[in-house]
């Protein structure tokens, strides 16, 4: 989907926090705009492509919710993010931010983060210390999905050092290449 495509939206359709009310006459740069009502009650306008692609999810209240949720996590020391919080933010970005350089390898492949962890950092942190073998004293720990095609969820994640993660990726690549070669020969 891109800006040049024609999108048709009906009144009553819901996109994120927005419910489409009606198509307005061309009002912004001679573009067709849809009048929407946000779940918070505010009215806003959006182009069809922005609604369809998820570029416009709310009147702005969604972003405010995200920012306010970030403030209470307690994962910053002297205004710098802790390593675990950085890991959490990067995990979410890989799965949900289409502008992230590696999105195609994660969110683009359908990899998601479990609902509990998406609710907030505190849930991810609790798992990391209790069951995810996270240890602050070991530097450069990375989150690893045990099944590379599985989602980020407690039963499929662990922490590895960078070198352990590289070795695992190397083993998986060799196995995949061996399987490909075997399939070609048969």
3-state secondary structure of 43: strand
- Confirm if 75 and 120 have CB atoms less than 8 A apart: no
**Residues pairing with 22 in the sheet:** 35
For residue 1, the model assigns a pLDDT of 46
Of the pLDDT bands very low, low, confident and very high (cuts 50, 70, 90), residue 186 is: low
Give the model confidence (pLDDT) of 124-156 as tens digits.
998 998 887 787 777 678 899 999 899 999 999
Answering whether pTM is above 0.75, one says: no
Give the model confidence (pLDDT) of 79-99 as tens digits.
556 788 888 999 999 999 999
- Res 170 pLDDT > 60: yes
For residue 154, the model assigns a pLDDT of 95
- What SS3 string covers 67-136? HHHHHCCCCEECCEECHHHHHHHHHHHHHHCCCCCCHHHCHHHCCCECHHHHHCHHHHHHHHHHCCCCCC
Domain definitions of the chain by residue range: 14-54, 70-185
- Confirm if 2 and 49 have CB atoms less than 8 A apart: yes
For residue 145, the model assigns a pLDDT of 93
């Amino acid at each position: 989907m891109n800006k040049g495509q024609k999108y048709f939206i009906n009144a009553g359709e819901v996109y994120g926090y927005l419910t489409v009310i009606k198509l307005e006459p061309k009002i912004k740069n001679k573009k067709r705009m849809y009048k929407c009502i946000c779940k918070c009650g505010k009215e806003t306008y959006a182009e069809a492509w922005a609604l369809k692609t998820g570029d416009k999810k709310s009147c702005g209240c969604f972003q405010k919710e995200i920012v306010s949720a970030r403030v209470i996590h307690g994962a910053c020391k002297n205004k710098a993010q802790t390593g675990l919080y950085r890991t959490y933010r990067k995990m979410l970005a890989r799965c949900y931010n289409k502008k992230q350089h590696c999105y195609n390898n994660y969110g683009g492949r359908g990899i998601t983060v479990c609902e509990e962890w998406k609710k907030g950092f505190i849930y991810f942190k609790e798992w990391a210390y209790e069951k995810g073998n996270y240890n602050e004293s070991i530097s450069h720990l990375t989150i690893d999905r045990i099944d590379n095609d599985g989602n980020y969820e407690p039963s499929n994640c662990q922490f590895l050092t960078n070198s352990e993660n590289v070795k695992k990726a190397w083993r998986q690549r060799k196995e995949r290449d061996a399987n490909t070669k075997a399939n070609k020969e048969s």
